[in-house]
Amino acid sequence: SASKLPKVGVTIFTVMSQLAAEHGAINLGQGFPDFSVPGPLVDALQRAMLEGRNQYAPMAGIPELRQAIAGKIADCYGCEVDPDRQITVTSGGSEAIFDVVHAVVTAGDEVVMLDPCYDCYEPAVLLAGGVPVHVSLDPASFAVDWAAVESAITSRTRLLFINTPHNPSGAILESEDMQRLRDLLAAHPRLLILSDEVYEHMVFDARQHESVLRDPVLAARSFAVSSFGKTYHCTGWKLGYCVAPAELTAEFRKVHQYNTFCSFTPAQYAVAEMIRRHPEHHRELPAFYQAKRDRFREQLLGTRLKPLPVPGGYFQLVDYSAVSDLDDTAFCRWLTTEHKVAAIPLSPFYAQAPQGQRLARLCFAKNSDTLDTAIERLKRL
Ligand code: PMP
Ligand code: GLN
């Protein structure tokens, strides 16, 4: 085929956002907040630009931001990471994921991903010449089936993707999962972990986020990826970072330096200042989103959509089988065009979606007014 990615079309997020715009629907599809970025962060961004911080940043990110990230990691996970040799600032979590894959996957290497999973994982692996190996999460709970993961991992496996809190389900990994991960690493000396933790500050009900960085054994074999777009309500800024051991970071930076070289300089100064001056922002984020989750779930009880549990992240899965027998893509299109609420179907997150699954993803990172209007429309289903 002439295409390097013959099976790839336009992402479901773009498709549904366009459909929402065409039909004047409330967009609970693509994940992004509709409320403002914190004032001090916008002020700091403006100041950085006015002060002339507009040229290339150092390739790895400005030292002030890497130090602030190291401080946040120490604060949240009780571990020391070296900002000079272990942290790289990237253009969003997406760039970090792409760079990890291209840094460690060579042609023929197998890469295990757990379906449903975020849509950028597989194309990155294919472009690197890797072989994607899909293992299903438990279809009811979205928990990891570790026995299935173990049987999928071979001497050819280079990388395992994990994602907690999980997009699209909101499931989180528990300490027992991290033990299974340690066992896997001990059994497979070539295996590395890509831990997608972009929703790290959205874990609810007083549970803790199981970062690979908490555990030196896991951290020694992992790339941990995060995104300021999620933490600071600024998905359009495309700023994130990757933490890895020094030797892996050196390989990671070889890709990063030729992919983008560096990321948007003014935002690096702004976020560094925000982390330093307003650590309460990330500390209070779980409570902020938990209140939105609770309110939205309560409202959903007045509809015929059945909300699934949401331990983390900012997405609510709903079972729509009481409303419609359409497949998930058709249902989400119908919901958007006929009821003016856009949602994301789950099947695009799978290599092979389970037959008959009737689930849609709704984003609750929205103002109460937005969610109230959406609920009024969903009540009519
Ligand atoms: N991983 C997951 C699970 C995500 O949901 C997202 C954002 N949609 C990303 C990575 C990419 O993050 P960013 O927008 O910072 O590139
Ligand atoms: N991460 C966002 C989501 O899952 C989408 C980002 C994108 O549009 N690529 O909705």
Residues 238-269 pLDDT 10s = 999 999 999 999 999 999 999 999 999 999 99
Note the pLDDT tens digit of each residue in 120-132. Answer: 999 999 999 999 9
Q: What's the pLDDT score for residue 86?
A: 99
Cα-based distances in Å from 31 to 120, 206, 236, 315: 14, 23, 11, 8
27, 94, 114, best to mutate for ligand 1 pocket (most atoms within 8 Å of CB): 94
In this structure, which amino acid lies at residue 9? G
DSSP string across 190-226: T-EEEEE-TTTT-B-TTPPP--GGG-HHHHTTEEEEE
pLDDT at 373 over 80: yes
Length of the chain: 381
Domains 12-37+281-378 and 39-278 share a fold: no
Query: What token pair was written down for 288?
Result: 């902020």
Is the Cβ atom of 86 under 6 angstroms away from ligand 1? Answer: no
Q: How confident is the model at residue 98 (pLDDT cuts 50, 70, 90)?
A: very high
Q: What's the pLDDT score for residue 149?
A: 98
Q: What's the pLDDT score for residue 43?
A: 98
Note the pLDDT tens digit of each residue in 295-349. Answer: 999 999 999 999 999 999 999 999 999 999 999 999 999 999 999 999 999 999 9
Q: What's the pLDDT score for residue 333?
A: 98
Stretch 110-136: mean pLDDT, rounded? Answer: 98
Q: What's the pLDDT score for residue 248?
A: 98
Is the Cβ atom of 303 under 6 angstroms away from ligand 1? Answer: no
Q: What's the pLDDT score for residue 365?
A: 98
Is the Cβ atom of 118 under 6 angstroms away from ligand 1? Answer: yes
Angle at 88 between CA 86 and CA 92, to 5 degrees: 140
Atom 8 of ligand 2 has which residue's CA nearest to it?
A: 13
Stretch 73-99: mean pLDDT, rounded? Answer: 98
| Ligand 2 center to 188 CA (angstroms) | 32
Cβ atoms 75, 213 nearer than 8 A: no
Stretch 161-184: mean pLDDT, rounded? Answer: 98
Stretch 211-220: mean pLDDT, rounded? Answer: 98
Give kind and range of the element (H or E) at residue 79.
none
Q: What's the pLDDT score for residue 362?
A: 99
Q: What's the pLDDT score for residue 77?
A: 98
Atom of ligand 2 nearest to the CA of 167: 4
| Ligand 2 center to 160 CA (angstroms) | 21
In this structure, which amino acid lies at residue 130? G
CA distance 10 to 380: 31
Q: What's the pLDDT score for residue 37?
A: 97
| Ligand 1 center to 380 CA (angstroms) | 32
| Ligand 1 center to 329 CA (angstroms) | 21
Atom 7 of ligand 2 has which residue's CA nearest to it?
A: 13
Is the Cβ atom of 94 under 6 angstroms away from ligand 1? Answer: yes
Q: What's the pLDDT score for residue 268?
A: 99
**Closest to 233 (Cα-Cα) out of 270, 277, 269:** 270
CA distance 105 to 112: 12
Give the list of residues 6+ apart from residue 25 with CB closer than 8 angstroms, or none: 19, 336, 337, 339, 340, 341, 342
In this structure, which amino acid lies at residue 176? E
ipTM of the complex: 0.98
Cβ atoms 349, 116 nearer than 8 A: yes
Helix spans in 220-367 (H)? 228-231, 246-259, 265-277, 279-300, 328-339
3.40.47.10, 3.40.640.10, 3.40.50.1100, 3.40.50.150: CATH of 39-278? 3.40.640.10
Q: What's the pLDDT score for residue 329?
A: 98
Q: What's the pLDDT score for residue 262?
A: 98
In this structure, which amino acid lies at residue 221? R
* Residues near ligand 2 (Cβ within 6 A): 11, 13, 30-31, 167
Q: How confident is the model at residue 285 (pLDDT cuts 50, 70, 90)?
A: very high
Beta bridge partners of 161: 194
Count of helices and strands (H, E) across the chain: 15, 13
* Nearest ligand for residue 227 CA: 1
Give kind and range of the element (H or E) at residue 149.
helix 146-152
pLDDT at 1 over 80: no
CA distance 179 to 182: 5
In the chain, % of residues over pLDDT 90: 99
Cα-based distances in Å from 38 to 9, 351, 357, 369: 35, 38, 38, 19
pTM of the model: 0.98
* Nearest ligand for residue 194 CA: 1
Atom of ligand 2 nearest to the CA of 94: 9
Atom of ligand 2 nearest to the CA of 361: 10
Is the Cβ atom of 264 under 6 angstroms away from ligand 1? Answer: no
What CATH number was assigned to the domain covering residues 12-37+281-378? 3.90.1150.10
Give the list of residues 6+ apart from residue 87 with CB closer than 8 angstroms, or none: 60, 61, 66, 69, 70, 81, 241, 242, 243, 249
For the chain, give every domain's residue range: 12-37+281-378, 39-278
CA distance 380 to 339: 8
Q: How confident is the model at residue 231 (pLDDT cuts 50, 70, 90)?
A: very high
